[in-house]
Amino acid sequence: MQHTMTDKQPDTEKDTYQISDPTEFGRNLVRVAAQSQEVLSRYLEGKREHPDDDANDPMNVANAFSELLKHMATNPGKMMEAQFALWKAQANLWQNSWRRFMGEEVEPVVEPNRGDKRFRDSEWAENAVFDFIKQSYLLTANWLNDTVDEVEGMDTITRRKVNFYARQFSDAISPSNFILTNPEVLRTTLSSNGENLVKGLDNLLRDLEKGHGKLDISQTDMTKFTVGENIALSPGKVIYQNDLMQLLQFNPRTDEVFERPLLIFPPWINKYYILDLRQDNSFIKWATEKGYTVFVASWVNPDKKLAEKEFRNYMREGVMEALDAVEKATGVKEVNAIGYCIGGTMLTTTLAYMAAKGDNRIKSATFFAAQADFSEAGELQVFIDDEQLDALEHQMESAGGILEGSKMANTFNMLRANDLIWSYVVNNYLLGKDPFPFDLLYWNADTTRMPQKTHLFYLREFYRHNRLAKGEMEIAGEKLDLGKVKIPIFLQSSKTDHIAPYNSIYKSTKLFGGKTKFIIAGSGHIAGVINHPDAKKYQYWTNDELPDEVEDWVAGAKEHPGSWWPEWHKWLSRKSGKKVPARVPGDGKLKPIEDAPGSYVLVKS
C-alpha cells in the first residue's frame, strides 16, 4: 500500500506542534493501530520460522555484565561517587534550564560530539524543552559509558564487551529514536496528521517481509541499481573460473602497460565491485588508466554445496589458481598483488605459505585495510569469545553449513549503530521517508554467504588465537612464518576504521621480513580506501620511519591533501617492470568465458 506524505509546514511558531486536521489525524491513528497488529503478526511468524534465533544470550552478554556488577560491588564508595556526580550534573542542568526558561542566555552544560548527526534539527538547540531533553540524555549516556569504562578489575575482553553493549544501550534510548522526544518526528507527525507513521509502518512491514520475519532495515533504494548496468561497469572478461571464484581481466585503457600484471583479491564477505562502483570513483578503471593489466577475483556467493570449503581452499583455488591463470593469460609469471580486508589476510597467509614452499611469483603486495596481527583488532573482538563462536557454529550447522551474509552485515552495522541502524529507523519508520539511493549502501546490502569451515577457521585461528602473527599457524603441513616474506609491502590503513584499526594494521610492519611502507588515509574502512584523486577529498599521512609504537609514527607523520592512490602508484610503478603492448582479454592461452562483471557476482543471498 502506498501513501503520500502531506508536505504542509507550520506558518507560525505557534502552529509548530499543532495537529493540522484532527479528523484526518484520527483516521490515520486507526490505520496505524491496524498496521501495528500486522507488524506484530509478521514478527511472530518470523520467530516461528527461525526458532534458532531465540537461543539464550548467543552473544554472551549476561556473563559480561555479571562480571561488571561483581566488580562494581567490590567498590561501593566509587559507585556512590559516580551516582552523586550524575545527580550533581543533572541538578546543574535543571538550574541552567530554569534560567533559560526565565529568558536568560546560558551556555549548555553538555553538547553532542562533533559529527553526531542525531541532534542536527534546529529545535534541539532553539527549543528549551528539547534542549533540556537532549542535554539530560547526553549527561546520562556519557555518565553510563564513563562509569562502566572506569570499573576496575575486569579483564580486557570483558571490559571491551561491557563497554560496547553499554554504548549500544545508550544509543538505543536516545530521545532522537522516539516520536514524542524527537522534534522533527513530532512536527512531521502533527503537520501530516500522522501520515508519516502510516508510511513508516508500510516501510517496516516491507523490511520484515524482506527479512522473512526478521527486521532487515533498508539503507538505500535497492531498485535503483543493477550490477553491470549502472554499477560495476568497467569492461573486461571472465577468463577463468572454478567453484570459488571467477577471475576477471579488464580491458586496457592505454596503448602500453606495465609488464607485471596486477592481481587483486577483494574480501569474499562482500562482492568485488566496491572497487568498481561508478566510473568516477572506480579503482579498477583508474588502475587501468595508469597502465596496469588488472585482474580481480570475483568470489562465489556460496551455498550449502560449498559448506565444506576450508580456508586453505580459498588460498589454493583463489590465490594459487589465479596466479596460474594470469600466467596463461599474459605469459608473465610474476605479478604484483593486492588484498583487501579479509582478502588481505588470506593473501598474507598465502605469502607465508608460498615463502615456505619457495614460490616467489608474487613480487610485491599491497594491503587495503587488512590485518595480520589481531591482538588489537578493534571492536569486532567483542563477538569473538568461545561461547559466541560455539553458538555461531551451531547456528551455521542448523543452516546447512553456511552463514547468511545479512548476519555479518548486522554485526558491522552495530559498530556504528547511530549511523547505520538508528538513523534509518528514524528516517524510514518514524518520518516515513524512503531511503536515499546510494550505490555504496547498495553494495553493502548485496551480501554474500560464508562457508562454515572457512568462516570459523578465520574467526578462531586469526581473531581468537592470533596464530598467524604468533608464528603458530600451520596450513597444508607448512609452518607459516611471515618473517620469511621478503617482498616489498605497502600497508594502507584509515584513520577512523572501526573494522581494521590503523594501530592493528601497523603491527604488520613488524611481521614481514622485507621493506614495508605504511600510510594512514582519512575516513574509514570503505571511504578511506575508495577515494579517487579527482574527488579531492580527505587526506593521508606518510612517515618513512617505522618506530615500535604507532603513536610515535603518527607524531612524526606528514599530512598530504587528497587521495593516497597517486602515492601508491608512485610506489608500485617502480616495481612493475618495463612497458609492453597492451594486453586484451583473450589474447593469451585462456579464452573469455563471459563478459565482466561475470555471473558469480549476480548471485543474491
Residue-wise pLDDT for 374-393, tens only, equals 999 888 888 888 888 998 99
Q: What is the pLDDT of residues 554-572, one digit of tens each?
A: 999 999 999 999 999 999 9
Return the pLDDT at 75: 81
* Nearest-angstrom CA–CA distance, 187 and 6: 12
- Give yes or no for residue 456 having a pLDDT over 50: yes
Per the structure, the count of domains in the chain is 1
Q: What is the pLDDT of residues 532-553, one digit of tens each?
A: 999 999 999 999 999 999 999 9
Backbone angles phi, psi at 101, to 5 degrees: -60, -30
Backbone angles phi, psi at 575, to 5 degrees: -115, 15
CA distances (Å), origin 551, targets 257, 477, 493: 39, 38, 14
Return the pLDDT at 594: 98
Return the pLDDT at 534: 97
Return the pLDDT at 10: 41
- Give yes or no for residue 443 having a pLDDT over 60: yes
**What is the DSSP code (8-state) at residue 247?**
E
Residue 179 lies in a domain: no
DSSP letters along 545-559, please?
Answer: ---SSHHHHHHT-EE
**What is the DSSP code (8-state) at residue 582?**
P
Q: Report, as an integer, the average pLDDT of 207-211.
A: 88
Q: Helices then strands (H, E): number in the chain?
A: 22, 17
Return the pLDDT at 51: 61
Per-residue pLDDT band at 58 (split at 50, 70, 90): low
Residue 98 lies in a domain: no
Contact predicate 457/310, CB 8 Å: yes
CA distances (Å), origin 335, targets 260, 482, 531, 603: 5, 19, 24, 29
Contact predicate 174/116, CB 8 Å: no
Question: What residue has cell string 558469480?
Answer: 600
- Give yes or no for residue 507 having a pLDDT over 50: yes
Return the pLDDT at 53: 57
Question: What value does the mean pLDDT of the chain take?
Answer: 92
**What is the DSSP code (8-state) at residue 514?**
S
CATH of the domain at 359: 3.40.50.1820
Q: Which stretches of 439-549 are DSSP H helices?
A: 439-445, 452-457, 467-470, 502-506
Return the pLDDT at 562: 98
Contact predicate 480/345, CB 8 Å: no
Backbone angles phi, psi at 176, to 5 degrees: -70, -15
Residue 61 lies in a domain: no
Return the pLDDT at 214: 83
- Give yes or no for residue 603 having a pLDDT over 80: yes
Q: Report, as an integer, the average pLDDT of 94-109.
A: 92
Residue 322 lies in a domain: yes
Residue 595 lies in a domain: yes
Beta strands 262-265 and 450-451, pairing class? unpaired
Return the pLDDT at 409: 84
Return the pLDDT at 112: 95
Backbone angles phi, psi at 272, to 5 degrees: -65, -20
Q: Report, as an integer, the average pLDDT of 244-265.
A: 98
* Nearest-angstrom CA–CA distance, 441 and 277: 11
Q: Report, as an integer, the average pLDDT of 488-502.
A: 96
C-alpha cell at 191: 503537520
Q: Report, as an integer, the average pLDDT of 93-114.
A: 92
Please report the sign of the dihedral spanned by the C-alpha atoms of residue 93, residue 95, residue 98, residue 100.
Answer: negative
Contact predicate 350/319, CB 8 Å: yes
Q: Residues, the chain, total?
A: 605
Q: What is the pLDDT of residues 304-337, one digit of tens each?
A: 999 999 999 999 999 999 999 999 999 999 999 9
Return the pLDDT at 50: 64
Contact predicate 139/85, CB 8 Å: no
Q: What is the pLDDT of residues 165-187, one digit of tens each?
A: 999 999 999 999 999 999 999 99
CA distances (Å), origin 187, targets 4, 17, 315, 340, 341: 17, 6, 56, 45, 43
Q: Report, as an integer, the average pLDDT of 412-419.
A: 89
Buried b (16+ CB within 10 A) or exposed e, 214-229: bbbbbbbeeeebebee
Tell me which residue of 408, 453, 440 sits closest to 244, measured CA to CA.
Answer: 453
Return the pLDDT at 354: 98
Q: Is 341 a catalytic residue?
A: yes
Per-residue pLDDT band at 424 (split at 50, 70, 90): very high
Q: Find residue 237's DSSP bridge partners.
A: 249, 595
Helix (H, G, I), strand (E, B) or coil at 340: strand
* Nearest-angstrom CA–CA distance, 380 and 412: 8
* Nearest-angstrom CA–CA distance, 422 and 424: 5
Q: From the candidates 341, 456, 473, 505, give the one annotated as an active-site residue.
A: 341
Return the pLDDT at 7: 40
Residue 305 lies in a domain: yes
Tell me which residue of 169, 223, 225 sits closest to 439, measured CA to CA.
Answer: 225
Q: Find residue 474's DSSP bridge partners.
A: 479
Range of 534's domain? Answer: 237-378+480-602
Long-range contacts of 21-27 (CB under 8 A, 24+ apart): 21/193, 24/193, 24/194, 25/190, 25/193, 25/194
Return the pLDDT at 150: 87
Residue 414 lies in a domain: no
- Give yes or no for residue 139 having a pLDDT over 80: yes
Residue 411 lies in a domain: no
Per-residue pLDDT band at 52 (split at 50, 70, 90): low
